[in-house]
Amino acid sequence: MVEQDKIAELRHCGANDFLNKPFPIEKLLERSCDLLDMERSATGT
């Protein structure tokens, strides 16, 4: 588990988001689309 101060440091350096590993690929796609302000397709591709 990553400490909260390390996450805060990453955000201070410009990170928009942070996911702890392991994470489901669906979660990565969801967060990436949200950050890029894109719509997710109904099929997930």
Q: Which residue has the higher pLDDT, 43 or 34?
A: 34
Q: What pLDDT band is residue 9 in, cutting at 50, 70 and 90?
A: very high
Dist CA 25 CA 44 (whole Å)? 11
Residue-wise burial string across 21-42, b where 16 or more C-beta atoms lie within 10 A, e elsewhere: eeeeeeeeeeeeeeeeeeeeee
Q: What type of residue is 10?
A: L
* pLDDT at 43 exceeding the cut of 50: no
Dist CA 1 CA 20 (whole Å)? 7
Q: Which residue has the higher pLDDT, 12 or 33?
A: 12
Average pLDDT of the residues in 13-42: 84
Domain boundaries, the chain: 19-45
CB under 8 A, 24+ apart: contacts of 11-20: none
